[in-house]
């Protein structure tokens, strides 16, 4: 019974140590979900790099610039 408790605590400790690593890069604080922005343009390049993809595009404003 004592070994079972030690095993459980070891697994729990291991999972708690992983929590910061799991949530370190997956937050939603960088995005304003209340005010979405729509961008229209012509895609000129995709840059595939781990861990993110960048999309480059040419766009014009309301005045055509």
Split into its structural domains, the chain has a count of 1
Q: Distances in Å between the alpha carbon of 28 and those of 14, 31, 48, 50?
A: 25, 6, 22, 19
Its pTM stands at: 0.43
Q: Does 12 map to a domain? A: yes
pLDDT of residue 14: 83
pLDDT number for residue 64: 81
User: Does residue 65 lie within any of the structural domains?
Assistant: no
Mean pLDDT of 49-64: 86
Q: Output the average pLDDT for the chain.
A: 82
Domain housing 31: 2-58
pLDDT tens track for 24-48? 666 556 677 788 888 888 999 999 9
In angstroms, rounded to a whole number, what is the distance separating the alpha carbons of residues 49 and 1?
A: 49
On whether residue 53 sits in a domain, the answer given is: yes
């Amino acid at each position: 019974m004592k070994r079972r408790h030690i095993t459980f605590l070891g697994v729990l400790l291991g999972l708690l140590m992983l929590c910061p690593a799991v949530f370190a890069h997956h937050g939603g604080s960088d995005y304003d979900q209340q005010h979405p922005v729509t961008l229209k343009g012509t895609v000129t390049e995709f840059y595939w790099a781990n861990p993110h993809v960048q999309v480059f595009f040419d766009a014009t404003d309301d005045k055509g610039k």
